[in-house]
Structure formats: structure tokens, C-alpha cells
Chain A
Amino acid sequence: MTIFINEKKVEIETPCMISVLKEKYKSNADIVVYNGHIVSEDLKVNDGDSIFFIKRGEMPPEEELEFLMMARHTPGVHKKLKNAKVAICGLGGLGSNIAISLARMGIGYIKLIDFDIVEPSNLNRQQYFIDQIGMYKTDAILENLKKINPYITYEAINIYINKDNIENLLFDVDVIVEAFDKAENKAMLISNASKLFREKCIIGASGVAGLYDTSLLKVKKLSSNVYIVGDFENEAKPGQGLMATRVAVAANIQANLVVRYILEEL
């Protein structure tokens, strides 16, 4: 039967115990992840099972690191995500958070698009650092994402998206994420992209400002492949700001929809 040890295919003749495999493959391991879950008990391994042996605090060899980083993923998910292509349009409070979550999830190709630079008022909710003030957001996010997950193909494009460049910018991805700030740009991207790319999934957001209950954030499904996240009411305006906690919840609802779409769970 075939099992996977640290993501490598291993043939074993009969079902055996985890402890036997650990002794053979990594006797000094102190963390055992069995089918995505850390276990302390000695279990019998069956055909198709995935086991990771990890030595706490040890920097693994480069060829193993990518897989060890995904050891806590639900088995089978990593390969599907690795083959997916996603574009994030806008790298502010929504987009920078979405980018980080999708990088951690191991999406194989992430296209990052913004025209703006990092400035101090971004730092209350956007995933940048003080020493990145003045950098293009595309450069800054790339720097940060490569530290989180270097095993991804990133493409960062410094451009203002308008209805004339949507087709050229987005034709090669499976999923388009709308993460703009301005309402007008959100509506423009979603309606134009849905017309150009009927087969692609489009995930937008509207109504993420303030500090209202996060359970007000809903997912509205439009034509077969368009999803909008938000409370559809609370806009950024004088007296109502954009806050890290609530914007990040909305961003991660968007990111979770991306992943669920790729895994065909939507």
C-alpha cells in the first residue's frame, strides 16, 4: 500500500504503526501530523494516509520545507491549490490581508495589482510595516509574501485598473478578487470582468467599514460565479473609519471563498 511521509510517496507492505515509521524515517521527530492533525497516540497507518514527522525548531532541508509548511492542511488540498491562479485587484486593507492568507494556503500563482504607495494611514489595517512607508504596495507586499511563502509564483503589477486594461491584466487567472476602496471602481471591475470572463469566479466586497458586529458580514451570490462579501451598508465616510479587525474578517471571508471555489466546494 502507498502512504505519504513528509509528502513523499512510500510503499509499505502491510498496515503498520506510526511509531515503526517514525523510528525508520525520523527517529528524533517530536511532532507527528497524521492526515492534517497532530497526534500523540500511536495509530495504525492505512493506505493513502499522510504522515509528517517534524523536529521542533529544526530548519528542514529546502526540498522538504514547502511540504512541511502544509502539514496541517486537510490532506489533498495542497495539490489543488498549487495549480490555481488568482488575481488580487487592490492591495489595501482587503487585498493585503487576502494576499497573506492565500500565500499561507499555498495558492500556486498570485497576481497582485495596485498603483499606490504605502503611507502611514494604511498601517492601522493593511499588512505593511513602518519601514515600507513610501514603497509601492506591489513591491512591499511582494517582499512580505516571499518571507511567508517563497514557493509561490508571484506577479506584482503596478497599474491603475480601468475598464480598458481589465482583459489584458486578468485573462490568465481562474479567480479575480475585487479588493478596491472606491465604490465606483468595485462596480466597474465586477460588471466588466463578469462580461469578459463568464467562466471565471469573481469575488468582491462592499460594506466593511466601522466596528459593527462581524456576523452582519454576509455573502451575496450573483450570476453563477460572482460573490460579494459585506454588510452592503457601512461605507467608509467621515465619522466611520476602516478598522483592522473588521476589514480582516471580510478579507478572509473573501479568501475563504477563493479557496472553496478552487476546491469545488462552492
Chain B
Amino acid sequence: MKITLNGKITELEKNITVSELLQNLKIHSKLVVVEINGDIIQKDYFDNTFIKENDKVEVVRFVGGG
């Protein structure tokens, strides 16, 4: 299925959760803010939130420094 990931059309296998997407991207769930179709998903729901066809997904990986 196709989704838009950080503005780019991306092909994904079906029935993937947010946690699995982050594993594929090799990003630790503690360091990230994930938004699907304009809603920020809370970390506690990463395991049971599935990404659907045509979803707009934004993954912001935070880096340290300030």
C-alpha cells in the first residue's frame, strides 16, 4: 500500500503498526513525534495503531542540543 511519509509517497507492506514503522526506520520510539493525518499519536499507542492506505504520516526524530 502507498502512504505519504514525511511528504514522500512511500510503499509499505500492509498491516504495519507505528512501532513497526519506527523499527523499519531504525528510530527509537522515545525520540520521536509521530503524526498521522494531522493527529499526533501518543507513544503508548504506537504498538496498536495501524497505518492505513493513503495515510499522511509525519515522523519527526528529535536530536539533542539546546
Contact = CB atoms under 8 A, between A and B. Distances in A.
Given A222-B60, A223-B40, A235 B65 contact: yes
A93 B66 contact: yes
A223 to B, nearest CB: 5
B30 A232 contact: no
A90 B66 contact: yes
Contacts of A223: 35, 38-40
A234 B38 CA distance: 26
Contacts of B38: 223-224
Size category of the A interface is 35 or more
Contacts of B64: 181-183, 209, 235-237
Nearest to A193: B40
B63 A222 contact: no
Interface string A195-226: 10000000011111100000000001011101
Contacts of B52: none
B42 interface: yes
Nearest to B58: A222
A235 B66 contact: no
B33 A184 contact: no
A95 interface: yes
8 contacts: A94-B66, A187-B30, A187-B62, A191-B43, A207-B63, A207-B65, A222-B33, A233-B63
Nearest to A186: B62
Contact of A191 (B40, B58, B63, B66): B40
Nearest to A93: B66
Interface residues of B, number: 19
Contacts of A190: 33, 40
Given A95-B66, A236-B65, A183 B35 contact: no
A170 interface: no
A92 interface: yes
B65 A208 contact: yes
A237 B64 CA distance: 8
A194 interface: yes
A228 interface: yes
Given A90-B66, A181-B66, A232-B63, A226 B40 contact: yes
A236 to B, nearest CB: 3
Find the residue from A187, A194, A230, A242 having the highest chain B CB count within 10 A. Answer: A187
B65 A181 contact: yes
Interface string A108-152: 000000000000000000000000000000000000000000000
Interface string A222-266: 111010101011111100001000010000000000000000000
